[in-house]
């Protein structure tokens, strides 16, 4: 393990203070014990652990527990006074690092550490060292459990269930088992074990039905900032009328994105930018993309990340993107992206930094996060975003033609349990030239209300009456839509 190798190098270098920021305290303690006990006898160093509740205790050998030097000052005085080598792990010492007496004691230990071979390992969720101690310290980033570790944890939980149920074996669907191990990535060993136990102990089996609950729980653990919305049950791809070229494009990339055995040699796709007229299915296409890839959908709300304090907006964005990386594989949907990265009055500097952060992440990400960004106002998008290479492809979603309008009517009538044989779809499609998919849906909804008020079954006449009352966006905003179509003609790929 690289992390074990890096930590061993730091310990061998006798750096006086080693800082480890982690939420996985128990795993790090086990790692340190294993490394220390595995040392050859000539290099063996006693290992101690300190907590404010239990004091200083020997960790590498079994001794009768004794609460000694539990006071933060006393333990440092003790470590400074001893003349024998030792590695001292101080757990959650971070609240006491602001005390000038503690800083001086730590510095005394550091100055004499080489001649006495004493090392301090500070472990906590967050540690800020005083400037005086930085020259004597080194930080080690311990990676979260890898695939082999996650598999070992799942197997251990399965063995526990078997022993509790008279030796019965856990039933596991091979595909669901692999997906469970993949979907537990990015969690601490404690959280990995807890979610694996939730999946197994419910029914003694690992099936695809366990995965939505695992992903929901994982999302709740990770998304502390609230900038992401999670949706596992995404729209079926058949719910999208038209978009035939987009559907074909996504279908070709499904196997590489899922890393199917026959496509592991292909690079997974990065994402698409959907530009088009409002109400024509861009948002539904984003949901359907997650559906065809069979992965969760995360929606990034740019409005929630903007903050009045300097640097906070970029921090929130980085945290949201990190969460998306950890939730991989997933689809990240950024709706109306121009509202987050276009000019926002006096916040031009902030939006430029947000754009830079997002573009850097797009260029450097190695996780299977497929980005679906949608936009309505192309003039508001910066050139850096729409140039070739940022997204795999830029699609234009136009107003539906007559054939697609008929299919959209069929979808919405079916969704509302209306028998299609009672409707003339060709007539409805012909009457809605220039209508978007959203406007067609609203015509069906309004017609249902009107028919109900008249205590009549829904018929063509009710829908046609609603259509005649509607002025579609293509008429109201004709100039802007015409300009958008002309721009997209030679710059984008048609979704149909």
Per-residue confidence band for 181, with pLDDT thresholds at 50, 70 and 90: confident
CATH of the domain at 34: 3.40.50.300
pLDDT reported for residue 272: 92
Last-in-domain residue among 121, 139, 157: 139
Residues 306 and 440 in one domain: no
Peptide bond into 329 cis (omega under 30): yes
In a domain, 490, yes or no: no
Q: Could you tell me if 392 and 411 lie in one domain?
A: no
State whether 366 and 257 are in the same domain: yes
pLDDT for 344: 46
Return mean pLDDT, the chain: 84
231 part of a folded domain: no
**pLDDT tens column, 26-55:** 888 888 888 766 554 456 788 899 999 989
* Residue 291: pLDDT over 80: yes
Please check whether residue 316 lies inside any domain of the structure: yes
Asked if the model's pLDDT at residue 479 lies above 90, the reply is: no
* Whether residue 392 is found in the same domain as residue 406: no
Please determine, for residue 143, whether its predicted confidence score (pLDDT) is greater than 80. no
Tell me the percentage of the chain whose pLDDT exceeds 90: 23
> Considering Cα of 353, then 355, then 360, then 365, what sign does the dihedral take?
positive
Does residue 302 or residue 175 have the better pLDDT? 175
| pTM over the 0.85 mark | no
Which band of pLDDT confidence, cut at 50, 70 and 90, is reported for residue 198? Answer: confident
Rounded mean pLDDT, 238-265: 82
Q: Are residues 246 and 377 in the same domain?
A: yes
Of 111, 139, 167, which marks where a domain is finished? Answer: 139
Highest mean pLDDT among 219-223, 306-310, 369-373: 369-373
From residue 390, give the alpha-carbon distance in Å to each of 44, 359, 362, 370: 53, 8, 7, 12
Same domain for 176 and 135, yes or no, is no
CA–CA gap between residue 323 and residue 271 (Å, rounded): 17
Please tell me whether residues 124 and 159 are part of one structural domain.
no
| Ranges assigned E (strand) in 22-107 | 47-51, 55-58, 86-91
Q: How far is 448 from 459, CA to CA, in rounded Å?
A: 9
Residue 255 lies in a domain: yes
- Quick one: pLDDT at residue 145? 82
Q: What is the mean pLDDT of residues 61-66?
A: 65
CATH number, domain of 453, equals 1.10.8.60
pLDDT number for residue 310? 62
Output the DSSP codes for 414-468: HHTT--GGGS-HHHHHHHTTT--HHHHHHHHHHHHHHHHHTT----HHHHHHHHH
Is residue 347 pLDDT above 80, yes or no? no
- Provide the pLDDT for residue 345: 44
What is the domain count for the chain? 4
pLDDT at 1: 47
Nearest to 369 by CA among 295, 303, 285, 273: 295
pLDDT, residue 346, reads 44
Whether 485 maps to a domain, the answer reads no
Residue 64 pLDDT > 70: no
At CA 367, angle to CA 365 and CA 370, rounded to 5?
90
- Across the range 421-428, mean pLDDT stands at 90
Domain boundaries, position 278: 237-397
Do 111 and 20 share a structural domain? Answer: yes
Q: For the chain, what is the radius of gyration of the CA atoms?
A: 30
- Tell me, what's the pLDDT at 321? 86
What percentage of the chain has pLDDT greater than the value 70? 91
Write out the two tokens for 348: 């031009």
Q: What is the mean pLDDT of residues 455-463?
A: 91
Same-domain status, 386 and 468: no
Question: Range with the lowest mean pLDDT among 5-14, 207-216, 324-333, 479-488?
Answer: 5-14
Q: Do 131 and 153 reside in the same domain of the chain?
A: no
Strand order of the sheet with strand 228-231?
Answer: 228-231, 297-300, 330-334, 369-375, 271-276, 393-397, 493-494
Same domain, 256 and 275: yes
pLDDT band at 448 (very low <50, low <70, confident <90, very high): very high
pLDDT of residue 73: 93
Residue 87 lies in a domain: yes
* Residue at 232 is within a domain: no
**CA atoms of 369 and 388, how far apart (whole Å):** 19
Shared domain for 208 and 243, answered yes or no, is no
Residue 496 lies in a domain: no
């Amino acid at each position: 393990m690289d992390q074990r190798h890096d930590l061993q190098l730091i310990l061998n270098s006798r750096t006086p203070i080693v800082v480890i920021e982690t939420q996985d305290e128990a795993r790090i303690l086990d790692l340190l014990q294993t490394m220390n006990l595995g040392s050859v006898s000539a290099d063996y160093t006693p290992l101690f652990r300190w907590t404010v509740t239990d004091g200083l205790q020997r960790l590498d050998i079994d001794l009768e527990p004794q609460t000694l030097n539990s006071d933060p000052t006393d333990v440092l005085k003790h470590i400074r006074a001893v003349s024998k080598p030792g590695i001292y792990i101080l757990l959650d010492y971070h609240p006491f690092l602001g005390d000038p007496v503690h800083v001086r004691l730590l510095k005394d230990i550091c100055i004499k550490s080489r001649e006495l071979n004493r090392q301090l390992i500070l472990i906590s969720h967050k540690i800020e060292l005083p400037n005086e101690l930085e020259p004597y310290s080194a930080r080690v980033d311990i990676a979260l459990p890898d695939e082999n570790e996650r598999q070992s944890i799942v197997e251990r939980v399965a063995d526990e269930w078997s022993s509790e149920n008279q030796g019965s074996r856990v039933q596991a669907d091979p595909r669901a088992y692999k997906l469970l191990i993949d979907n537990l990535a990015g969690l601490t060993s404690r959280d990995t074990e807890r979610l694996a136990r939730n999946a197994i102990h419910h029914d003694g089996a690992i099936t695809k039905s366990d995965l939505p609950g695992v992903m929901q729980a994982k999302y709740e653990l990770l998304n502390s900032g609230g900038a992401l919305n999670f949706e596992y049950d995404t729209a079926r791809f058949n719910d999208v009328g038209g978009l035939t070229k987009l559907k074909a494009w996504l279908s070709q990339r499904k196997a590489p994105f899922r890393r199917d055995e026959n496509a592991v040699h292909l690079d997974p796709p990065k994402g698409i930018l959907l530009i088009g007229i409002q109400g024509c299915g861009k948002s539904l296409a984003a949901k359907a993309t997650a559906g065809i890839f069979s992965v969760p959908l995360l929606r990034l709300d740019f409005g929630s990340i903007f903050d009045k304090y300097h640097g906070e907006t970029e921090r929130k964005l980085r945290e949201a993107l990190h969460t998306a990386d950890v939730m991989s594989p997933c689809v990240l949907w950024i709706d109306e992206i121009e509202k987050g990265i276009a000019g926002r009055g006096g916040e031009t500097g902030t939006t430029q930094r947000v754009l830079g952060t997002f573009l850097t992440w797009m260029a450097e990400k190695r996780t299977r996060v497929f980005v679906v960004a949608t936009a309505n106002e192309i003039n508001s998008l910066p050139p850096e975003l729409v140039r070739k290479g940022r997204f795999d492809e830029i699609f234009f979603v136009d107003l539906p033609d007559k054939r697609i309008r008929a299919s959209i009517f069929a979808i919405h009538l079916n969704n509302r349990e209306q028998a299609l044989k009672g409707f003339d779809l060709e007539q409805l499609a012909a009457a809605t030239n220039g209508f978007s998919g959203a406007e067609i849906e609203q015509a069906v909804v309004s017609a249902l209300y009107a028919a109900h008020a008249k205590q009549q079954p829904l018929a063509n006449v009710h829908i046609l009456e609603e259509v005649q009352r509607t002025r579609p966006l293509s008429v109201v905003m004709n100039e802007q839509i015409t300009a958008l179509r002309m721009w997209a003609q030679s710059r984008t790929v048609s979704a149909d």
